Amino acid sequence: MYDEVEVEVEDVEVQEGDDKFSYDAKVVIMGRYEPCECSSEYHGSQVTQSWVEKDIDDVMLVSYKKYKVNQDDFDTEVEGDMPKEAWQKIQSKAMDVVEFDEYE
């Protein structure tokens, strides 16, 4: 069963043409921790290594704010679409920080 976790990411900067924009976004990630294991023979003995990986099923955008980055350190909120590059960066950042319930 997958967990549904809401994640907020901030200050995801993307260059769009000559302008730089920053995004704050709220996403929902469906996923879980998946136990992994690998066994091999080493000097005549069986060696097993275990670890846990994130198994991400889906990432959904809930909301976002877009800001034009200004040189005076006061970013201005603007209306506008989110380009594919920004969405990819937001997804990546959210997947890096998401924490699921422990696996059984």
Q: pLDDT tens, position by position, for the chain (104 residues)?
A: 899 999 999 999 999 999 999 999 999 999 999 999 999 998 899 999 999 999 999 999 999 999 999 877 778 899 999 999 999 999 999 999 999 987 65
45 vs 48: CA distance, rounded Å: 10
pTM of the model: 0.82
Contacts 24+ apart (CB under 8 A), 13-18: 13/69, 14/83, 14/85, 14/86, 14/89, 16/83, 16/86
Q: Give the Cβ contact number of residue 17 at 10 Å.
A: 7
Task: Tell me the domain boundaries of the chain.
Answer: 3-97
Which ranges of 1-104 does DSSP label H, i.e. alpha helix?
A: 84-97
